[in-house]
Chain A
Amino acid sequence: MNLKTKNTECVSITSEEEVAEYLNDLRLRARTGYALVPLLSEHHAIYRGKGTNQINRIKGYVLASFYSVSLPEEALIYVLEELENSRTAYLTAASAMAIRGMSEKNVHVVPYLLKGIINMRLRDDAVNLDTYAPDWGESKWTTALNELLETLEWMGAYAKEAIPLLTELSEDSSFNHLIRNKIKTTIELILNDEEEVDNCCSITLPEIDSPDSKLDFSFIKQLQVQDQYGEVFSLNDLLKKPTIISFFYTRCTNPNKCALTVSKLGRLHNLLKQKHYANKVNIILFTYDSDFDNPNRLKGYGENKSFDFSHSSKIVRTSSSDFQLLMQYFGLGVNFANSTVSQHTIELFVTDRHGIVKKSFKRLQWKEEEVFTWIQSNWTLLNQGSYFISAFKKRACHGLNTMGASLISLSIAFFPKCPLCWYGYLSVLGISGLKTIPYSPWLFPVLLIFLGLHLLIIFRARKKRNGITPFLFSTIGSLFILLSTLWVEISITRYVGIIFIVLGSLLNSLDFKLYLQLIRPIQRLMLTFIR
């Protein structure tokens, strides 16, 4: 199976057999955990349209795979997210196992493992992490609590801060004696481990700041939203002040996610009141499930969770089509199966008075004080300038980042990486400059051979790399150069030729995913032009 092709065409993988084949192949061929990291994001195509249990099966199986292929830093936040929030034994067990794939132990993961134990109290279940979608029978099985304790044992001296809670839990009758005995063994192993603990370094979690939104605020500011009393507003009216925006849905079954988010927002509102910020900051809570969550349901849910409704604190919904725009603007980590939310993460955004996202708290639980402190210390940032300046700054930063990344990519792409590439470059630059050399009949066939070699290499690489298009670009470029060298006396044809050959080389050297992102809009444009 061509891994690269499958990775971009995961939408077509629907049956359990196809998913199992894909994941097993990936698990087998992945030399490091990096290849598996993209599969942890809700934005990965493999999750599109799939139901909650299937998503959990895929995610859990991928998480468990990190045990054997090592856990890269980029994946750690997803692992901690599941340990902290999941109430599913399968995901918790897989995440605990993934921690044992870390190259270096770190004391900072211990609180998350303990949270996992608390989450699994009376929720533990038998799981099989060796096979995708096991049929049980005689299959090997483990439990989430077992895996969590195994991981704490593996942490050894690094898990010393877990001892007080573990000691308490070892007497807790909500665990059976097998687990209580395992807890006691874990405590002994931790205490007896004499390894020197290096706790100087905190975990490096990727900074998930303002989302890399492709949309400008102007696309969403006219969206109509309906609040818990049925009143309709434009989003622009609600976001004229610094605003805290979060997401939930009333049918969410995980008490660590939506229910907790709503309650915490209620407490955050009280904190804002105490600090005299309540009138200066809005709190807007959107539902993911806008068709089901009508104003009555929103109001009832908010009241049950002590959400403090006021003119600056509302629970709202948009139409499901408008919600797609919000999803893009905020880069939301949510998926739907038919009309039901199948997967979502915890996400809270702080926007400035122009509706531009300045800070996001994603995946891990945010604390009310943490959000308030950030708002307080960035108050000037949230209120400064005009919309255009704010939007321009964002664009400029984004543009510079993209340009920087592109320049590096281009340099890497253009750098001749093998002797044959050098031939290619020499042939192009040599032939195009042939006219400037006083007398060089012997040089022409040599450079022609180099040009031919260049085309041959790109042609032969078409199956392994990015198809026939790069070859076509290079061929057109070669024809232009030959034309300018042999017949036409216009220098521009020479430069056109060089550009085409360079483009051909660039397209050939790009990562397949990036190549598709680039080529598809061009194809669409060409199709539109033809029509």
Chain B
Amino acid sequence: MSVYRDEQLKALEQTKQRRKAAVGIFLDQQKTVEERLRAAPSCGSFSGKEEISVAASVLFSSEESLQVRIAALKNLNVAIGSDEQLALRVLELLEDEQESDMIKLGVINIFQAGQFSSAIISSLRAEYHQKLKNLLTKKDLLPAILYIVLESLAQEKDEFVQRMLLKGLESPKEARVEPDRAIQLLAYDLHAEYYPILKKIVEEPPTPAAKKEAIRALSGDQSAKSILVNTLTDKDENDEIRYASANSIAALDSSELYDHVRKILLDDEEDDEFRAALLNTASVLGDSNRLSTDEELQAKFSELSVASQATPLQKVTKRVLSKQLKSFRK
């Protein structure tokens, strides 16, 4: 046991030494950028007042190479989450017009992660949100930054972001992101005022992806039931969109789903994969009691489950039947 312990302590000491050397190389401005970048992953999170202070000066130095600064920022994540002054200084980078987008992206990533892990970062919520909102007013924002900023604020149900996204959906010329992405972001808030525009999108979709997202998001709007039913029963519609409608109907009112799904399952002209997916939804989210007592449907399942080819529909029907059998035995 003591041999094992000694070995572990030795390994630990070696790791410490390696880290110390790596930190020394990374923080040494005399070394080449390549050397410093090679050393960066072995540094781990910077700790100790002096180490953090030097690493922070690397981060805020305009003379350092961008890659080295990004590496310094990544390794300062723990320090930023435990030092309010440093966190506020780092936050200021978001407002610096001259600052690189990659650094800004790094700052946002640290603050996003820190919302859950650091009391200091979560206490700076107002300051952080103000910086993000200001970033959104810049028209030439890097798409990666734009998306993460929108996502962060949309998750917080921010009214400014919701206004911006709705404006984009209403007048596509002013849109900052694709309509399907805008709908996904608005869907974080049940109370976002977007149901009327979603209905318009379903009727005149700018893209198929937008229509699919609109159908998904309408799962919170009782008044959209007829639109969803029409989409589900429309044979000319894309199956993925029809499937999304089925899920939305199930979320609104599972009893409503059964009659429509039944017709589709009994219709051999419908695509097998689509029917398999629908059956799966109906058995999980729908009214399973009605499903198991419907004789016509049960006969159809038996017929499909013994079909010569192992289609997805055959697999699902077999599974549904065996599940019903098990519950019957119980």
Interface set of A (CB-CB < 8 Å, partner B): 16, 50-54, 56-57, 89-90, 122-126, 133-138, 141, 143, 145, 173-177, 179, 251, 253, 291-292, 294, 337-340, 342
Contact = CB atoms under 8 A, between A and B. Distances in A.
Interface string B101-145: 000000000000000000110111111011001101100000000
Contacts of B206: none
- Tell me the dominant secondary structure on chain A's binding face: loop
B221 interface: yes
B59 to A, nearest CB: 21
A126 B160 CA distance: 11
Contact of A53 (B162, B195, B220): B162
A436 B136 CA distance: 83
A125 B191 CA distance: 19
Contacts of B172: none
Contacts of B158: 125
A135 B137 CA distance: 8
* A-B CB proximity, top 7 nearest: A51-B193, A126-B130, A52-B191, A291-B222, A339-B222, A176-B123, A137-B137
B152 to A, nearest CB: 12
B11 interface: no
A292 to B, nearest CB: 6
Contact of A338 (B126, B134, B163, B196): B196
B159 interface: yes
Given A51-B193, A89-B126, A253-B190, 7 more contacts: A51-B191, A134-B160, A173-B123, A176-B84, A177-B84, A179-B123, A291-B222
Nearest to B198: A338
A16 B122 contact: no
B84 A338 contact: no
B180 interface: no
Contacts of B195: 337-340
B253 interface: yes
B108 to A, nearest CB: 16
A131 B241 CA distance: 41
Interface string B283-297: 000000000000000
A388 B304 CA distance: 67
Given A56-B159, A291-B222, A124 B191 contact: no
B127 A126 contact: yes
A246 B127 CA distance: 39
Contacts of A136: 130, 133-134, 136-137, 160
A123 B126 CA distance: 8
Contacts of A52: 191, 193
Nearest to B138: A137
Contact of B193 (A134, A253, A292, A337): A337
Most A Cβ at <10 Å: residue of B119, B133, B160, B191: B191
A449 B224 CA distance: 65
Nearest to A291: B222
B191 A175 contact: no
A226 to B, nearest CB: 14
A118 B238 CA distance: 50
B148 interface: no
A89 to B, nearest CB: 7
Most B Cβ at <10 Å: residue of A51, A133, A145: A51
B125 A124 contact: yes
Nearest to A90: B159
A138 B130 CA distance: 10
B134 A137 contact: yes
Contact of B191 (A173, A176, A253, A292): A253
Nearest to A292: B222
A145 B159 CA distance: 19
Contacts of B14: none
Interface residues of B, number: 35
Contact of A125 (B84, B122, B125, B196): B125
B223 interface: yes
Contacts of A135: 137, 160
Contacts of A122: 122-123, 125
Contacts of B84: 176-177
B9 to A, nearest CB: 35
A342 B246 CA distance: 26
B120 A176 contact: yes
A50 B166 CA distance: 14
A57 B126 contact: no
A175 B192 contact: no
12 contacts: A50-B193, A52-B193, A53-B163, A56-B159, A122-B123, A125-B126, A138-B134, A174-B119, A179-B123, A253-B190, A292-B222, A340-B195
B192 A53 contact: yes
B253 A340 contact: no
B119 A173 contact: yes
Contacts of A294: 253
B197 to A, nearest CB: 11
A350 B119 CA distance: 44
B122 A174 contact: yes
A152 B156 CA distance: 28
A227 B220 CA distance: 22
B128 to A, nearest CB: 9
Contact of A340 (B136, B163, B190): B190
Nearest to B255: A294
Contacts of B122: 122, 174
A472 B65 CA distance: 84
B129 A126 contact: yes
Nearest to A146: B126
B221 A339 contact: yes
Contacts of B130: 126, 136, 141
Nearest to A337: B193
Given A133-B163, A173-B119, A251-B190, A340 B220 contact: yes
B191 A340 contact: yes
A287 to B, nearest CB: 13
A96 to B, nearest CB: 14
Given A126-B127, A176-B123, A292-B222, A53 B137 contact: no
A51 B221 contact: no
Most B Cβ at <10 Å: residue of A50, A52, A179: A52
Nearest to A172: B123
A337 B129 CA distance: 27
Interface in B149-167: 156-160, 162-163
A338 B159 contact: no
Contacts of B223: 338-339
A339 B220 CA distance: 9
A132 to B, nearest CB: 11
Contacts of B119: 173-174
A160 to B, nearest CB: 27
B206 to A, nearest CB: 21
